[in-house]
Structure 1
Amino acid sequence: MRHVTLVQLFDHPITQKYVKRSGMAHAVACAFHAYRLAIKHNVDPDRATKAAFLHDIGHYTWYKNGQWDYNLYKENDIHAIKGSERAHKLLIRLGEHPRTAKEIALAILLHTDSYLPNGHLELNPLQHVVALADEADEKPGGEHHYHKISDQKARRMLSLLDKKIESHLKEKFIERTM
């Protein structure tokens, strides 16, 4: 059973503020990539899509002299750490199961190793799917954060994805009970 939908996440003011800051089109695209990858890798698509949708909720805007400074971002950003905490709090507030909220938050924390000093992470399947979903939509120099999408289209796409997830989970439930 799903406690929180993607549309509920989209509608929340915290999501509107922070996911829009980092790129709503990128977040929606990553959620769709995560769904496809979750099915392929036999991972829970509900958790994967939520983590992918919220993976950049911790971004800070790095500007220098009024201009976005990608190098400043690459040198100093810890968005995965901040995003993990912010997403966890949001999910709990919306009524997500605490265990699920923690798994999603950890996937957000580990979706990138950019903040680690020459590290390599061993990811579980959910974390791997979220990292792959992010990579699938990335563009050089962070350009993927600047693609635009209307609120109406984003909400409509997330509603469609919610329906796909519900259908998949219902299908899996039927398979287990037969």
Structure 2
Amino acid sequence: MRDVTLLNIFEHHIAQKYLNRSGLAHAIAVAYHAFHLGKEHQLDIDIAAKAGLLHDMGHYTWYKNGKWDYDLYKQNDIHPIKGAERAHKLLIRLGENPIKAKTIALAILFHTDSFLPSNDIIRTPLQQIVKWADERDEEEGGMHHYRTIDYVRARQSIIRLDQWIDREYD
């Protein structure tokens, strides 16, 4: 039995705010990729899917003269740090197991090395699959953050993924 489902997270107003900002379609795709990779690598698929869903909730919108500035983003972004903090706070607020919440937050923190001064970090297996899951859905110039999905379809996708996780736990 899970303390918090993906649907609990998805329906929370804080998650809605940040998932929509960073690209809901991308967040759901990464959650699915993380689930499959977690299963393949015999990791906790619930934690993997949650980290995948929330991995970009720390994004800030970098605009210059009313237009998205990808170079400004690449130069100044620290979204994994902010996202790990936001995800941890949200998960604890929803009643997630504190150890799982911390594990998810750390997977979010290390899902990319774009904010690190060097590329020599050693990731845990969970952190690595969240990174891979994100990379599987990336598009050039950050365009994966602009794909859209309507709320009803997004909610149905989240419910289906929750059902898959529940079946694996039975």
CA shift digits 1:87-143 (9 cap, x unpaired): 000000000000000000000000000001123211111111111110000000000
Task: Give the corresponding residue for 1:129.
Answer: 129
Task: Give the corresponding residue for 2:13.
Answer: 13
Instruction: Give me the whole-angstrom Cα distance separating, in 1, the residues matched to 2:151 and 2:52.
Output: 18
CA shift digits 1:1-20 (9 cap, x unpaired): 31111111110000110110
1:13-32 alignment, distance < 5 Å: 13-32=13-32
Instruction: Give me the whole-angstrom Cα distance separating, in 2, the residues matched to 1:8 and 1:80.
Output: 22
Instruction: Give me the whole-angstrom Cα distance separating, in 2, the residues matched to 1:113 and 1:64.
Output: 24
User: Does structure 1 residue 60 correspond to structure 2 residue 60?
Assistant: yes
User: Does structure 1 residue 86 correspond to structure 2 residue 123?
Assistant: no
What code does the residue aligned with 2:48 have?
A
Instruction: Give me the whole-angstrom Cα distance separating, in 2, the residues matched to 1:75 and 1:43.
Output: 33
Instruction: Give me the whole-angstrom Cα distance separating, in 1, the residues matched to 2:159 and 2:120.
Output: 35
1:1-178 alignment, distance < 5 Å: 1-170=1-170
Moved >6 Å (runs of 4+): none
Q: Which ranges in structure 1 are unaligned for 5 or more consecutive residues?
A: 171-178
**TM-score (normalised: structure 1):** 0.94
What code does the residue aligned with 1:151 have?
Y
Task: Give the corresponding residue for 1:174.
Answer: none
Instruction: Give me the whole-angstrom Cα distance separating, in 2, the residues matched to 1:10 and 1:70.
Output: 27
**Highest Rg: 1 or 2?**
1
**TM-score (normalised: structure 2):** 0.99
Offset at residue 163 of structure 1 (A): 0.3
CA shift digits 1:12-71 (9 cap, x unpaired): 000110110000000000011111101111110000000000000000000000000000
Aligned pairs, number? 170
